[in-house]
Amino acid sequence: MNGIQRVAIIFAGGPAPGANAVISSAAISFVDQGLDVIGFLHGYENLQNYHPVTHRLLPDVHYRKLERRDIQGVRNARGIMIGTSRANPGKGIDSPADLLEPSKTVLLRNVYNALVDLRIDALISIGGDDTLKTGNKLFLYQQTLPANAKRVRIVHLPKTIDNDYSGIDFTFGFFTAVDWMAKEVQNLRADAIANGSYFIVETMGRKASWISYGVAIAGEAHLVLGVEDVDDSLSTLIPDPENPGEKVRFLDLMRLTDLIVDLIVKREQRDNIHYGIVVLAEGLAELLPPTYLSDVSRDDHGHLSLGKIDLGKLVARLVKNRYSERFGRSKKVTGVQFGYESRCAPAHAFDVILGSQLGIGAFRALVEEGLDGYMVSVHGQLDLHYVPFSDLVNSETLKTEIRFVERGSDFHRLARFLEERTDDIVEWGPGQRGEDPSNI
């Protein structure tokens, strides 16, 4: 077993459909070989606070030994059987030099000590890019220890509904989230038809726009805009509040608003259609001017709480007002926010299969390949590959790179082909004969 007798599994970050397929498939691979599998509850929350005297880790309170009865028949179960959290024991470690500072590695050291005291030989980390960064820091931290110190081997399994991961084509949970939100968009479409109205749908996805494009394509939205679409036509330069004399590019809300109003007008002019769906990526909120973000909190990993900005409602309100200004009549425009309701939805079959392969890949990486400090990946027809942390994490900043939708790629062009163009708008103004869309 390549020196492994006892393996631990941890799940961190936001939920994702297919989580239990990953956990159970990984666990059963080891259990079938007679090895112990420990599932730590709620991510790194308890591990980072471990102390052998004041905060000992207790079975069925802080961790569970996973038995065969726990991990059979649960691949399609919703939720996360061992829970999750966003606890970040690597917080404040921003360079390799920080790993040598005892004051900065307290939480990492607690995690390491807990694993050693519980006789863990290998850790399977399941999570997003922040969890990958934590796994890499724990891997590097162990390299600073004396040569005779115990080593806990680490492999990471990529998880995020956002699909913004380098080193893998698609992450488990992505297709379920897209499918779930696309069906919601279709429901809103029927509502919009009935009421002659528009919905501005903000979709989860953090910085990248994979979910937004997928939802727009599968849900048959009429316009989709992601972070990758913000060019000179949708942005403006304003003084940088943190660097006097410098300018930074921000999303121009008025230009965005007029683009959506143009879409409404075109559909009214050309086809006498008075309803529609616009999908916006939540990551656009990060490009708002500082005045919109000053009171927004950040999580333990430093990310803005984008859901609290409620971009969909903000843009809906602007579009409604702008339409009234331009045409002298009202238009019902409603903003909605999608995301949380999809994270524990019943997993799409593809996500169950993908998650199961990643779980098996953890066993194969540790036992068959003898790897340490690697991420499990799949390409093509779910062929397993193993990517070293050093290929995924910047060696100087210890940060990962977000994988955006490549502008002009075939996936990006697919969304553009299927949406409605707004470049042939006839500009109308109040008081002009025949300009009122209700007369068309």
Residue 20 is which amino acid?
Answer: N
Per-residue pLDDT of the chain (440 residues; tens, 9 = 90+): 789 999 999 999 999 999 999 999 999 999 999 999 999 999 999 999 999 999 999 999 999 999 999 999 999 999 999 999 999 999 999 999 999 999 999 999 999 999 999 999 999 999 999 999 999 999 999 999 999 999 999 999 999 999 999 999 999 999 999 999 999 999 999 999 999 999 999 999 888 999 999 999 999 999 999 999 998 889 888 877 777 778 788 899 999 999 999 999 999 988 899 999 999 999 998 888 777 766 666 666 566 666 677 899 999 999 999 999 999 999 999 999 998 899 999 999 999 999 999 999 999 999 999 999 999 999 999 999 999 999 999 999 999 999 999 999 999 999 999 987 666 544 444 433 233 333 32
Task: Name the fold adopted by 174-344+406-439.
Answer: Rossmann fold (3.40.50)
CA distances from 153 to 35, 94, 168, 261, 358 (A): 15, 22, 21, 55, 17
Q: CA torsion sign, 16 to 21 to 24 to 28?
A: negative
Measured from the Cβ of residue 193, the count of other Cβ atoms closer than 10 Å reads: 13
**Location of each CATH 3.40.50.450 domain in the chain:** 6-171+347-391
pTM, full prediction: 0.90
CA distances from 269 to 193, 198, 325 (A): 17, 16, 18
Measured from the Cβ of residue 255, the count of other Cβ atoms closer than 10 Å reads: 14
* Residue listed under structure tokens 């999809």: 342
Q: CA torsion sign, 335 to 336 to 339 to 340?
A: positive
Question: Quick one: which of 164, 8, 22 has its CA closest to 80?
Answer: 22
Q: Contact, 238 vs 201, CB < 8 A?
A: no
Q: CA torsion sign, 1 to 132 to 71 to 81?
A: positive
Residue 378, strand partner residues: 384
Task: Name the fold adopted by 6-171+347-391.
Answer: Rossmann fold (3.40.50)
Q: Contact, 28 vs 81, CB < 8 A?
A: no
Q: Contact, 20 vs 77, CB < 8 A?
A: yes
- CA 185 from chain center: how many Å? 20
**Location of each CATH 3.40.50.460 domain in the chain:** 174-344+406-439
